[in-house]
């Protein structure tokens, strides 16, 4: 069992007789506030937000091991944003998507997971402006095609739907 905490980072938990306890990790992202979490194929991807001692413009990539602490293996830092909001891996495990806010690079970001420890950038869809961005984002596969859905906020609120099937090769 894993948990991402806004203040103390990413950790592994144990359950014993219905009680949660810390197994390992935590206090491992002191420079940023934690945001979202997605776990897939032995790796976890955590976002960051706002400003702590630096901007929340990073996706942290963790290798998971059921017998120990999550191990930080890489980070994706996106310049000219303040917050990484939602993070998700596609249902086939091929794509990592995250949404970003507050800066000229706000929008959707897509990475190939050929090597899940070191994702490769393959595309972005920016919504423009220096405030707002895409706050809530998710994948859905409909009739064999992969779509990214995102909520643009705050001003000019809109639902943005992208057909990203071509990225899912």
Q: What is the structure's pLDDT at 159?
A: 94
Give the number of other Cβ atoms within 10 Å of residue 162's Cβ: 19
Q: Is the pLDDT of residue 169 over 90?
A: no
pLDDT in tens, 111-167: 999 999 999 999 999 997 767 899 999 999 999 999 999 999 877 789 999 999 999
Tell me the average pLDDT across 39-54. Answer: 92
Rounded to whole angstroms, the Cα distance separating 118 from 100 reads 19
Q: What are phi and psi for residue 8, nearest 5 degrees?
A: -105, 15
Whether the per-residue pLDDT at 95 is higher than 80: the answer is yes
- What DSSP string describes 47-110? EEESBSSSBB-EEEEEE--TTS--EEEEEEE-TT-SEEEEEEE-TTS-EEEEEEESSTT-EEEE
Residue 2 to residues 22, 66, 97, 130, 142: CA-CA distances in angstroms? 10, 10, 20, 34, 30
Buried b (16+ CB within 10 A) or exposed e, 89-113: bbeeeebbbbbbbbbebbbbbbbbb
Is-contact 25 70, C-beta < 8 A? yes
Q: How confident is the model at residue 80 (pLDDT cuts 50, 70, 90)?
A: very high
Distance from C-alpha of 42 to C-alpha of 150, rounded to nearest angstrom:
26
pLDDT tops 90 at residue 8: no
Asked if 147 contacts 162 with a C-beta cutoff of 8 angstroms, the reply is yes
């Amino acid at each position: 069992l894993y948990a991402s905490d806004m203040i103390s980072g990413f950790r592994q938990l144990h359950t014993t007789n219905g009680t949660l306890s810390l197994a390992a990790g935590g206090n491992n992202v002191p420079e940023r506030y934690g945001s979202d979490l997605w776990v897939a194929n032995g790796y976890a991807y955590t976002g960051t937000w706002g400003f702590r001692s630096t901007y929340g413009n990073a996706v942290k990539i963790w290798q998971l091991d059921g017998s120990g602490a999550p191990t930080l293996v890489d980070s994706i830092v996106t310049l000219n944003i303040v917050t990484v909001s939602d993070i998700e891996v596609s249902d086939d495990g091929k794509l990592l998507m995250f949404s970003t806010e507050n800066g000229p690079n706000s929008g959707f970001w897509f990475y190939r997971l050929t090597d899940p420890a070191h994702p490769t950038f393959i595309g972005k869809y920016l919504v423009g402006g220096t405030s707002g961005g895409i706050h809530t984002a998710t994948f859905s596969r409909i009739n064999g095609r992969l779509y990214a859905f995102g909520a643009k906020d705050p001003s000019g609120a809109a639902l943005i739907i992208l057909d990203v099937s071509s990225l899912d090769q």
